[in-house]
Structures are given as structure tokens and as C-alpha cells.
């Protein structure tokens, strides 16, 4: 197909429409972009940037047989039941991650030229094999740290041919923060909810390597984890807050290789962070889609 004629895309669990952003950056014309999403906040972001998006609502209600020919079906079904962060994870039998089977149904209905699925790298080998067998392709592991400043290990299943991992762009966390100091080359994976801005929040960051912080004092930033914990042990919340801050919304956008303000200029702070944490890493999606021949 000649891309000058445009393509039709169906995005399930569309979120903030990162795939649409990636196509725009690749200068590939989209005739129709169909999106299935039920959260009003990311929908607001999508419609702000791409008002022509055709919203289809709940994935369970999408009838692929009623859509025009689809060139690409893309989805990242909910990961909550698949992630190792959930102690009692139920995998594909879980209520949220089980929505993968709705995506599989729609995939069969639309029979697109290409499909692309993303999910967490920490899922069990069993669930990974089930997905691979049902989709009929072997997955590729791509950590977002190759193209941005965060560690975000993800698995991608696609029939786009000749796909390889991207070259390391050497971007470090210090390259994306607005001010301050950091104690690592790459941030932890962005979560929908960061650690609390308290003494216990910093302890959690240091002990469990969760969330992301920027230090306001260069000397404190260079201390070892053990030294940091010993230093803050006698301090209260107010004193500890002077030593660090959470990532700003713009920094979170940069970690997902989103344009500054893409989400934060549309939504308030809390829904902004939720939407960013649930999104794809733009540069990774752009890299994968660049291998497709429409």
C-alpha cells in the first residue's frame, strides 16, 4: 500500500494515543484512527491533540467486522494481573489482564496487515508462552532504556518483519531532569503513582528501588544508599523534603519520550501521572513502526 494514500489504524486500550503520535512523527498519513478507551482523562489528551480520532469505547463492545480494512492493530492490554509487582498475580485469568482475549477476538475479526502488542517484561514464562502461541509470533524484549532515561522492560509481539532492537541512544536520567541531581544513570520504571513525598517515601525509593526522585543537594546525591539512609534516619518529613523532590510532570513525559506538555498541559497533576505511567514509550513504538511497509 502507498502510504501517501493513508492507513487505517485500530488502537485498543489506546490511552493517550502514543501510536498516533508516533505515526505523526514518522510522517505517515492516517485516514482513520479508531481508538478503544474508557478512561475519560487519556481520551481528553487524545482528542486535544488528535480531534479526528474515532472513539469506540469499551473494548468488549468493539465489533471488528463493522470496521473498514485495518492496516495496523495495536494494543497493550492491562498488565496489572501479569506484573510481578502484584503479589497474588492471576495472569491472563485476571479480570483486567484477561482483556487480552478481547483483543485476540478483535484481531481475528479485523485481520490487519500488521499487529503490535506490548506488555510487561516481568510476566510469567507461562503467560508469555500462552500469548506467543495464540498470536503465532515470538516476542522481542526491548527495554526503554535504549531510547530514553528510564528502565522499562517490555515485551512486544508483532508480525512486522525484520524487527531488531534499537541502538542505544546513551540518554541518561541527568539529561532529562529540569534541575537538581540524581544518583543513577537511568530512572526506575515510571509508575502510575510515585512514592509519597515524605521520609518514608524516600526510604522506599532507596530500599525497594521504586518511584523516582531528584535530589536538591549534590553531596547528598553522591552518598551510597547506606549513607543516605543513615543520614535521614534522625530527620523528620519536613527536613527530608529539603533533600529531594519527586519528578515533575514534564520529566515524566520526557522519560516516556513524549513532547513536553503533551499530557501535563491538558490534565491536572494526578491524572497526568496516571496517564503517563500507563502509556507506551513513544520512541520505542516509533522504532517498531518504522519497520512496517504500508
Using alpha carbons, select from 34, 85, 73 the residue that is nearest to residue 191. Answer: 85
State whether 140 and 209 are in the same domain: no
Which DSSP category does 175 fall into? Answer: G
State whether 109 and 177 are in the same domain: no
Q: Write the CATH number for 113.
A: 3.40.50.150
294 in any annotated domain:
no
275 in any annotated domain:
no
Q: For the segment 112-160, what is each residue's pLDDT rounded down to a tens digit?
A: 999 999 998 888 898 899 999 999 999 999 999 999 999 999 999 999 9
State whether 138 and 211 are in the same domain: no
Compute the mean pLDDT over every residue in the chain, rounded to the nearest whole number: 92
State whether 204 and 139 are in the same domain: no
Using alpha carbons, select from 136, 139, 133, 134 the residue that is nearest to residue 157. Answer: 139
3-state DSSP call for residue 36? Answer: strand
Q: What is the pTM of this model?
A: 0.92
Number of independent structural domains in the chain: 2
262 in any annotated domain:
no
What is the set of active-site residues? 79
State whether 157 and 178 are in the same domain: no
Cα distances (angstroms) measured from residue 281 to each of 45, 177, 256? 16, 17, 5
271 in any annotated domain:
no
Range of the structural domain that residue 81 is part of:
3-169+282-289
237 in any annotated domain:
yes
Question: Averaged over 158-173, what is the pLDDT?
Answer: 97
Which DSSP category does 187 fall into? Answer: B
Q: For the segment 250-284, what is each residue's pLDDT rounded down to a tens digit?
A: 999 999 999 999 999 999 999 999 999 999 999 99
| Burial (CB count within 10 angstroms: exposed 0-12, middle 13-18, buried 19+), residue 219 | exposed
Contacts of 110 (CB under 8 A, 6+ apart): 10, 64, 67, 70, 73
Q: Which helix (H) or strand (E) holds 239?
A: helix 237-241
Pair 174, 218: CB distance under 8 Å? no
265 in any annotated domain:
no
Amino acid at each position: 500500500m502507498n502510504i501517501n494514500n493513508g492507513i487505517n489504524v485500530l488502537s485498543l486500550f489506546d490511552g493517550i494515543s502514543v501510536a498516533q503520535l508516533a505515526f505523526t512523527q514518522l510522517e505517515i498519513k492516517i485516514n482513520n484512527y479508531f481508538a478503544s478507551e474508557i478512561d475519560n482523562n487519556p481520551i481528553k489528551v487524545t482528542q486535544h491533540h488528535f480531534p479526528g480520532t474515532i472513539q469506540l469505547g469499551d473494548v468488549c463492545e468493539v465489533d471488528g467486522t463493522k470496521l473498514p480494512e485495518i492496516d495496523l492493530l495495536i494494543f497493550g492490554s492491562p498488565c496489572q494481573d501479569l506484573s510481578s509487582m502484584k503479589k497474588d498475580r492471576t495472569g491472563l485469568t485476571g479480570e483486567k489482564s484477561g482483556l487480552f482475549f478481547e483483543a485476540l477476538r478483535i484481531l481475528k475479526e479485523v485481520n490487519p496487515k500488521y499487529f503490535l502488542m506490548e506488555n510487561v517484561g516481568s510476566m510469567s514464562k507461562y503467560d508469555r508462552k500462552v500469548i506467543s502461541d495464540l498470536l503465532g509470533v515470538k516476542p522481542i524484549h526491548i527495554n526503554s532504556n535504549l531510547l530514553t532515561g528510564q528502565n522499562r522492560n517490555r515485551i512486544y509481539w508483532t508480525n512486522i518483519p525484520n524487527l531488531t532492537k534499537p541502538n542505544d541512544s546513551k540518554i541518561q536520567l541527568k539529561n532529562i531532569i529540569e534541575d537538581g541531581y540524581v544518583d543513577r544513570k537511568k530512572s526506575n520504571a515510571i509508575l502510575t503513582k510515585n512514592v509519597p513525598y515524605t521520609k518514608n517515601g524516600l526510604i522506599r525509593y532507596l530500599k525497594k528501588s521504586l518511584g523516582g526522585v531528584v535530589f536538591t543537594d549534590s553531596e547528598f546525591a553522591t552518598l551510597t544508599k547506606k549513607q543516605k539512609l543513615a543520614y535521614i534516619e534522625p530527620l523528620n518529613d519536613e527536613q527530608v523534603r529539603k533533600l529531594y523532590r519527586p519528578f515533575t510532570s514534564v520529566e515524566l513525559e520526557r522519560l516516556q519520550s513524549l513532547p513536553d506538555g503533551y499530557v501535563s498541559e491538558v490534565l491536572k497533576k494526578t491524572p497526568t501521572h496516571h496517564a503517563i505511567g500507563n502509556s507506551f514509550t513513544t520512541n520505542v513504538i516509533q522504532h517498531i513502526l518504522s519497520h512496517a511497509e504500508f
